[in-house]
């Protein structure tokens, strides 16, 4: 699996849960979605540093 496919898998599996979690902190759905999107971008660029791909 290449990096893009892994990211797509993570997005499909975790977006809803992460947005709900972020909402508990932000109390704003749009901010929660933005925070999760930023986290996925950071994860994508840091993917090569992960030991367990």
Q: Where are the alpha helices (DSSP H) in 1-53?
A: 3-26, 29-46
pLDDT of 51 above 70: no
Q: How confident is the model at residue 10 (pLDDT cuts 50, 70, 90)?
A: very high
> What's the pLDDT at 52?
64
> In this structure, are residues 47 and 6 in contact, taking their beta carbons and an 8 Å threshold?
yes
CA-based nearest residue to 34, from 24, 22, 25: 22
* Parent domain of 43: 3-49
- The number of distinct structural domains making up the chain is 1
Reported pTM: 0.84
pLDDT of 46 above 60: yes
CA-based nearest residue to 9, from 40, 52, 50: 40
């Amino acid at each position: 699996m290449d990096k893009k496919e892994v990211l797509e898998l993570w997005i499909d599996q975790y977006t809803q849960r992460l947005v709900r979690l972020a909402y508990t902190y932000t109390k704003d759905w749009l901010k929660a979605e933005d925070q999760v999107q930023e986290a996925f971008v950071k994860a994508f660029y840091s993917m090569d540093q992960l030991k367990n791909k």
